[in-house]
Structure 1
Amino acid sequence: MPYELHYWDGLQGRGEFVRLALEDAGAPYIEVARESKKSGYGMNAMMKILDSKTEPHIPFAPPFLKDGELIVPHVANILLYLGPKLGLAPQNEGLRYVANGLQLTIADFVAEVHDTHHPLATDLYYEDQKDAAKIRTRNFLDKRVPKFMGYFERVLKQNPAGDTQMIGDQTSYVDLSMFQIVDGLHYAFPRAMKRFGEQYPRVAALHDAVLQRPNIAAYVDSDRRLPFNESGIFRHYPELDQDA
C-alpha cells in the first residue's frame, strides 16, 4: 500500500522535505491533494481529515503522512517514522534521536526563512509588511544564516564517520533536508548566496552530493518536483536580497 502524503497543492513548502525522502528511497506514495477528485483523493480528501469531528488523532496542519490507518503529523516526526523504513536513518537507535534533533533544528531554520517575508503576521499579505520584511531579512542574512549554516558546517566537520554526511556513515533524511534548504536559499537570495560555497564548503558539497544521487537527480528533473514560487516558504523578492 503506498504512503499518502498530504500537503497543499502547488507548493514545495514543508512537504518537500518528506517528498525528498520518499523519492530517494523509491517508495510508492500518493500526493493526495494533487490527485484527481475522481480517484477519491484531491484537496477535499485532505481537508476532510483536517476538519474531521470524529478522527481520534487529527493533525493540526499539513504536511502529514497516512500509512494505513496511522496518521503521522509534522515534518521531523514524519521523517523520524519513515527514516528506518526507508533506509534513511542511522541503525543505532541513539543516533536516530540525534538525527531527529538535527531535523528539528532545520525546522527552526525553515521557520526563520518564512518570517523573512512574513515578519508581522502570516495572515497578512507580503505587500502589507514589506518594510518590516526588509529589516527582518537583513538580520536573517547577516546574523541568522551564518549562525545556522556555521553550526551545520561544524556538524559535518565533527562527524566521527566523516564530513560527507550530517550523521553516521550513510546518507540520511537529514542530508536530504539540508539539500532542500541550500537549494531554497539559492533561489530566494541568489545575490546573498554567491559566496555560499566559500563560506560553508562542507554544506555546499553535501548539497551537490545529494543532487547526484540517481533518484534525487531524476526527481529534480521530473514534473513531480514542483518549482519554487512566491507562495511557498522560499520566496524570491529582489528587494529583500542583498550582495554577499
Structure 2
Amino acid sequence: MAYELHYWDGLQGRGEFVRLALEDAGAEYVDVARESKKSGYGTDAMVKVLNSKTEPLIPFAPPFLKDGELIVPHVANILLYLGPKLGLAPKDEGLRYIAHGLQLTIADFVAEVHDTHHPLATDLYYEDQKDAAKIRTQYFLDKRVPKFMHYFERVLKQNPHGPAQMVGDATTYVDLSIFQIVEGMSYAFPRATKKFGKQYPHVSALHDAVLQRPNIAAYVDSERRIPFNESGIFRHYPELDQDA
C-alpha cells in the first residue's frame, strides 16, 4: 500500500522534507492534496482527516503521513518513522536518535526562516508586517544563519566517518533536509547566500552530493517538484535580501 502524504497543494513548505525522502528511496506514495477528488483525494480529503472524530490520532496540522491505519504527524517524527523503512536512517539505534536530534534542529531553523516574512503573526499578510520583517530578517541573516550553519558545518567535520554525511557512514534523511534548506535559502536570499560555498564548504558539498543522487536529480527536474514560490516557507522578497 502506498504511503499517503498530506500537505497543502501548491507549495513545497514543510512537506518537501518528507517528499525528498520518499523520492530518494523511490517509494510509492500519494501526495493527497495534489490528486483529484474523483480518485478520493484532494485537499478536502486531507481536511476531512484533520476534522475527523473517529481517527485514533488527529493531527494538529499538515504535514502528516498515513501508512495504512497509522497516522504520523510532524516532519521530524515522520522522518524518524520512515527513515529505517526507506534505508535513510542509521542502522545503529543510538545514531538514529542523533539523526532525529539533528532533524529537530533543522525544524528550528525552518521556523526561523518562516518568521522572517511573518514575524508578528501567521494570520497576517506579509504586507501587513513588512517593517517588522525587515528588522527580523536582518537579525536572522546576521546572527541566526551563521549560528545554525556553523553548527551544521561542525557536525560534518566531526563525523568520524568523514564529512560526506551528517551522521553515520551513509546518506540519511538529515542529509536530504540539509540539501533542502540550502536550496531554499538560495532561493529566498540569493544575495545573502552567494558566498555560502566559501563560508560553509562542507554544507555546500553535501548539498551538491545530494543533488547528484539519481532519484533526487530526476525529482528536481520533474513536474512533481513544486517550484519555490511566495506561498511557502522560503520566500523571495528582494527588499528583505541583503549582501552577506
Partner amino acid for 1:135? I
> Where in structure 2 are the equivalents of 1:108-147 lying within 5 Å?
108-147=108-147
Structure 1 runs of 4+ aligned residues shifted over 2 Å read none
Partner amino acid for 1:45? A
**SS across alignment from 1:20:** helix
Q: Which runs of 5+ in 2 are unaligned?
A: none
> Where in structure 2 are the equivalents of 1:38-57 lying within 5 Å?
38-57=38-57
CA deviation vs aligned residue, 1:48-99 (integer Å, no higher than 9, x gap): 0001122221000000000000000000000000000000000000000000
Q: Where does residue 106 of structure 1 map in the other structure?
A: 106
- Identical-residue share of aligned pairs (%): 86
Q: Where does residue 207 of structure 2 map in the other structure?
A: 207
Partner amino acid for 1:208? D
Partner amino acid for 1:78? I
State the aligned residue count: 244
Give the Cα–Cα distance (whole angstroms) in 2 for the partners of residues 105 and 235 of structure 1.
Answer: 20
**SS across alignment from 2:65:** strand
Q: Where does residue 156 of structure 1 map in the other structure?
A: 156
**SS across alignment from 1:30:** strand
TM-score normalised by the chain length of structure 2: 1.00
Partner amino acid for 1:101? G
Give the Cα–Cα distance (whole angstroms) in 2 for the partners of residues 117 and 104 of structure 1.
Answer: 21
Give the Cα–Cα distance (whole angstroms) in 2 for the partners of residues 17 and 122 of structure 1.
Answer: 21
Q: Where does residue 86 of structure 1 map in the other structure?
A: 86
Q: Where does residue 35 of structure 1 map in the other structure?
A: 35
**SS across alignment from 1:5:** strand
Give the Cα–Cα distance (whole angstroms) in 1 for the partners of residues 46 and 195 of structure 2.
Answer: 41
**SS across alignment from 1:65:** strand
Q: Which runs of 5+ in 1 are unaligned?
A: none
Partner amino acid for 1:24? D
> What's the CA shift for 1:166?
0.1
- Alpha carbon RMSD of aligned pairs, Å? 0.4
